[in-house]
């Protein structure tokens, strides 16, 4: 989930009263649907309008493909025309590709080639060698996606994500902007600064990060290494971060299959322990992490989304991270929606992808 320091710095800036009034729980499109995003040329063609669907309309992907990319055998869903403009949809924790089970077909119907990969340690994505360290530095995950683009011979794409997926997309946009046509980043600028993470945050922020401290303990490690216990923990997390989302047992069970990956516990534990300085990353990623510690700006066209009911959404209607985005830019706050924004409000998310592609 998001960088606690970004949120901490925003505490006290306000409550985000400018939240867009959306029928988000019914999958309503954003207020900008059918209009030009700010900065778009006045003579440009009208932006396509994504049809409104009810969240949960789709329950599965037609097929899961596999491709060797970098150190991984990556599992991914692919929808849409093979020669269409490419969109990568990147999930977070504790979620999987089913966060985009409604978004992907909406974008495919708009002519996009949609790629939805399982991140390392999730679902059918596996390591090619048992000797590869099961680490999860932020740059390692971003390089996984660059390797996937190379394996699929995709030079450039629109990126959209939330949670770990937003962070990964932000990193690619910052370090390899030539690979990014446009960016949709839920919760804004999530690139982690390890040094800043070592400082205490506001009590309310630390409270929201209970699982991070739990994972730092031996008790948390044991829970994550027990399949039943980690699945129960993930389900509980869903209820806390998406208070208005009445997901069914079947919806959670579909995603929970991804948590049975044999590397899942190692990857999740490493990621959260690494972020707070408890474990060292691999030396081969040091040069990237040094660049990321400087909080590099993102210059590609970007729309940021804040889910109003997400406890990690910083107050201030995006003001906490606005200066990190130096290109064409829009911000939207989505009312009545929690952390898993694409699954809770798929039409709104899909429309934002189309909009940022025309920004």
- Stretches where the chain sits below pLDDT 70 are 1-44
What pLDDT is recorded for position 39? 52
Alpha carbon distance 332, 350 (integer Å): 13
Q: What pLDDT score does 26 carry?
A: 38
Question: What pLDDT does 45 receive?
Answer: 80
pLDDT given for residue 196 in this prediction: 82
> What does the alpha-carbon distance between residue 305 and residue 16 come to, in Å, rounded to a whole number?
12
In the prediction, which pLDDT does 315 show?
A: 83
Q: Given phi > 0 = left and psi -120 to 50 = alpha, else beta, which region is 121? A: left
Question: What pLDDT is stored for residue 51 in this prediction?
Answer: 97
């Amino acid at each position: 989930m998001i960088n606690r320091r970004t949120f901490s710095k925003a505490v006290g800036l306000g409550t985000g009263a400018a939240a867009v009034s959306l029928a988000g729980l019914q999958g309503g499109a954003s207020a900008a649907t059918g209009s030009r995003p700010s900065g778009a040329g006045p003579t440009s063609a009208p932006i396509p309008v994504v049809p409104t669907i009810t969240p949960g309309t789709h329950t599965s992907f037609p097929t899961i493909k596999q491709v060797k990319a970098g150190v991984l055998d990556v599992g991914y869903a692919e929808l849409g025309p093979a020669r269409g403009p490419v969109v990568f949809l990147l999930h977070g924790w504790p979620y999987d590709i089913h966060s985009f089970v409604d978004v992907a077909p909406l974008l495919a119907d708009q002519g996009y080639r949609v790629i939805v990969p399982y991140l390392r340690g999730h679902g059918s994505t596996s390591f090619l060698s048992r000797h590869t360290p099961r680490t999860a530095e932020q740059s390692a995950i971003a390089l996984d996606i660059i390797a996937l683009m190379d394996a699929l011979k995709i030079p450039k794409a629109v990126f959209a994500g939330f949670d770990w997926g937003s962070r990964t997309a932000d990193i690619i946009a910052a370090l390899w902007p030539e690979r990014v046509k446009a960016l949709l980043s839920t919760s804004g600028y999530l690139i982690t600064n390890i040094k800043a993470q070592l400082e205490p945050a506001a009590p309310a922020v630390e409270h929201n990060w209970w699982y991070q401290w739990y994972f730092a303990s031996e008790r948390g490690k044991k829970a994550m290494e027990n399949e039943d216990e980690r699945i129960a923990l993930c389900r509980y997390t869903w209820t806390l971060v998406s208070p208005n989302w009445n997901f069914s047992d079947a919806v959670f069970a579909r995603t929970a299959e991804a948590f049975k990956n044999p590397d899942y516990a190692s990857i999740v534990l490493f990621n959260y322990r690494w972020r707070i300085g408890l474990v060292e990353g691999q030396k081969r990623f040091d040069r990237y992490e040094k660049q990321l510690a400087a909080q590099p700006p993102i210059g590609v066209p970007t729309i940021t989304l804040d889910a109003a009911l997400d406890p990690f959404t910083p107050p201030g209607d995006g003001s906490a991270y606005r200066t990190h985005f130096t290109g064409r830019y829009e911000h939207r706050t989505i009312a009545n929606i929690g952390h898993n924004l694409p699954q809770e409000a798929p039409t709104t998310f899909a429309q934002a992808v189309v909009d940022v592609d025309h920004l």
